[in-house]
Structure 1
């Protein structure tokens, strides 16, 4: 499924993307597009795009099916997809994808500026994040 270009949802997010270094902005825009594309295929409802800690953040506010994803440019260079550090998203990714990603502890996957997101299993990691609460609900006892 390919989505048309989606306008930013807030002026603050527009400014955040404008402030990213030119070298990493295309990768971050690719990740943003992938988040919305995966959300549409996973039936998680609308995605809210906002800022958290000054970084674009993506939430399933209506369905509450997932955990927040943030994207940004870490001080170490390149760009990153951040998840809540108390989830199992990163440890699960390590178990399944091994060295397909460069990890930053239990909070992020890192990319250098030249990495093409389409050549990674990032869509699966995003799907895991957007459905995290739905998949980890406790059923009836």
Structure 2
């Protein structure tokens, strides 16, 4: 979590300088969060039907929405409160996405509860598995027949 002084409003528009928000994090965590942000944006760009992402802050956390296409569930990323050795990618707790992630990558990813993919600040991140989970989240509504047509 960035220090309180670095907190931005609860919700910022996509045109706001959300990447500046990352400046409030310690260097190692900031590097990892920016790499995860880049992975999310890269996966969105190459995944059919996702379209451009809106990047905003929700609950004080960097968030990625498929507002234009409605194809997917919101993805949030942040450090872990009280756990400086980890950060996480969060999905909506009622989406069922974590069940999909567990079925596919329960032996590869550290999955916590019904919303968090927990990643090490220092250590290997299984980028292929994580990228696939990101694509699943960004296409969740479309795959479930709820995205805009």
Alignment of 1:20-35 (within 5 A): 20-35=25-40
Given the alignment, which residue of 84, 90, 100 partners 1:82?
90
For 1:137 and 1:27, the matched residues in 2 are separated by 33
Q: Offset of 1:23 from its aligned partner? A: 1.9
**Structure 2 match to 1:98:** 106
For 1:115 and 1:88, the matched residues in 2 are separated by 28
Q: Offset of 1:118 from its aligned partner? A: 5.4
Task: Say whether 1:137 aligns with 2:142.
Answer: no
Alignment of 1:1-141 (within 5 A): 9-11=15-17, 13-43=18-48, 44-75=50-81, 76-77=83-84, 78-117=86-125, 119-137=127-145
> Given the two structures, how large is their TM-score scaled by the length of structure 1?
0.85
Aligned residues: 130
For 2:114 and 2:65, the matched residues in 1 are separated by 19
Structure 1 unaligned regions, length at least 5? 1-7
Alignment RMSD (CA, Å): 1.7
Moved over 4 A (4+): none
Contact 1:30 1:117 in 2 (8 A): no
Compared CA separation, residues 119 and 64, structure 1 to 2 (3 A)? closer
Compared CA separation, residues 120 and 45, structure 1 to 2 (3 A)? closer
**Structure 1 match to 2:3:** none
